[in-house]
Amino acid sequence: MLRKKYSIKSDCKFFRGDVPCTPHKKFGVVCSDCNFYIPRENIILIIKLGAIGDVIRTTPLLHRIFEEHPKSAVWWLTYTPEIIPSIVDKVLPFNLDSILLLQQTEFYKVINLDKDLNACALSKSLRAKEKYGFTLENGKPSPVNELSFHKFLTGLFDSVNKENKKSYLEEIFEIVGWKYNGEEYILETDNSIRWNIPNNGAPIIGLNVGCGGRWVSRLWPEHNWIELVKLLQDNNYFPLLLGGESENEKNLRISKITGAYYPGFFDLKTFISLVNQCDLVVTAVTMALHIAIGLKKKVILFNNIFNRCEFELFGRGLIIEPEKPCKCFFSPTCTNTEYFCMDYIFPSKVFQEIKNQFNY
């Protein structure tokens, strides 16, 4: 009798199984008499663990997934669940609880975009009608099929990577068998965070001075940041120093020397909100780059060790590379014994390109 009275629609988008669903808590409805029922026919899993920038630049896939599979539930496994868009039905942190759940779930598609050993091993162990991306063979990452072979090769051989003309977004869409059509990043901001930046109406130029502790070959010298700050200040722009905890001392020094505004370092959501205050962001290839792109900001990107074709700026910026050849392709530290190639990106050039972005 109870089963007849309380028929359960476990395929509903809102159904939880362990606790009451949101429509029930808000409106008291039950499955047998509910206008909020949204059926989900199957589940598509995305595995993209990290880093944060890579997770952000994978979000354009969601546009096509929901377009092609409007009745599918989308799950995402990641190291940084706080960055995943709210349109994803279930966001899972990479831990034992999530792995146990995934291994007992039948998926329509599993899309693993990481060549991380753990991600590949998990992908291999899951049950799915279709699998895309990368798996594990003989204890090592391997492409699932021919669709992911190109992306697999560019990660193995520098010579292939240098010849590649496809952007990262073209590559990941290709992995799933789709053509990339300009889909944008999806990045949400916390509108409750308030800022009082004293720019007096001047364009705010975010200067992201770091690039992580590993890839120091990408670092622009501190004296160049100082010179750029002064050029901006002398021409009615408002430089705002950006960075994380590892850039704090550098930003404090630059701020002390130049008087540039530096509000400090913050948690991820607050940092996203701060970048959202900028009109343009100057940065190397970092998390801040993808945050700025996701927020649809103008971008000046410093690049010296990656294939420039990899980056999609959506027509809102440009890439500046050293005026002398850089021999440090995909090298964490500079391997050039004659000169440090990032010395050959000049502040005057960067400033001129900032002006060009504002049509001054």
List CB contacts of 81: < 8 A, sequence separation 6 or more: 91, 92, 93
Which residue ranges make up each domain of the chain? Answer: 2-33, 42-175, 204-357
What distance in Å separates the CA atoms of residue 42 and residue 72, rounded to the nearest whole number? Answer: 5
Phi-psi region of 214 (alpha: psi -120 to 50; beta: other; left: phi over 0): alpha
29-43, 119-133, 173-187, 246-260 — which is least confidently predicted? 29-43
Asked if the domains 42-175 and 204-357 are classified in one and the same CATH topology, the answer is yes
pTM for this structure?
0.92
Contact, 322 vs 338, CB < 8 A? no
Q: Tell me the sheet residues that pair with 73.
A: 43
pLDDT single digits (tens) 2-35? 666 667 888 887 888 889 888 888 988 888 888 8
Q: Does domain 42-175 have CATH number 3.40.50?
A: yes
- What pLDDT is stored for residue 130 in this prediction? 97
Residue 149: CB atoms within 10 A of its CB come to: 14
Q: Is 88 exposed, middle or buried (0-12, 13-18, 19+ CB in 10 A)?
A: buried
Contact, 33 vs 5, CB < 8 A? no
- Residue 237 above 90 pLDDT? yes
- What pLDDT is stored for residue 11 in this prediction? 80
- What pLDDT is stored for residue 51 in this prediction? 87
Tokens matching residue 216 = 């120091």
Longest dimension (CA), the chain: 83
The CATH class given to the 204-357 domain equals: alpha beta
- First and final CA of the chain: distance in angstroms? 75
148-162, 173-187, 227-241, 345-359 — which is least confidently predicted? 148-162
- What pLDDT is stored for residue 213 in this prediction? 67
